[in-house]
Amino acid sequence: MNSQLIDSLVKVVQALSAAEQQELITKLNGLVPSPESNEPMTSPSSSPAEHPEAWDLFLALGENATPGKLENPSINHDRYLYQQP
């Protein structure tokens, strides 16, 4: 969980007027599906036994990768992605 993001969102919400807060609540509630039962929502999961070919492919990613062209990618990553041409 990104607690820093949540804290920032709380500060933004607190800066809104009461009417804006109610509108935000209404819109957020529309995004979250309400459970049909009292059971907790779960996400589907799969095990390697269910889809062995897919897991083999996933585990092989990067084994034959060619080096990228970005110099110092860990340092220049954001600059490379978000720099205006």
- Which pLDDT does position 43 carry in this prediction? 54
pLDDT of residue 29: 83
Total domains, the chain: 1
Can you give the pLDDT at residue 35?
A: 65
Strand, coil or helix: what is 79?
A: helix
| Per-residue pLDDT at 85 | 56
Global pTM value: 0.35
Low-confidence ranges of the chain (pLDDT < 50): none
Tell me the residue range of the domain where 25 lies.
3-82
Q: What is the pLDDT of residue 3?
A: 83
What pLDDT does 63 receive?
76
Cα–Cα distance measured from residue 20 to residue 13, given in angstroms and rounded to the nearest whole number: 9
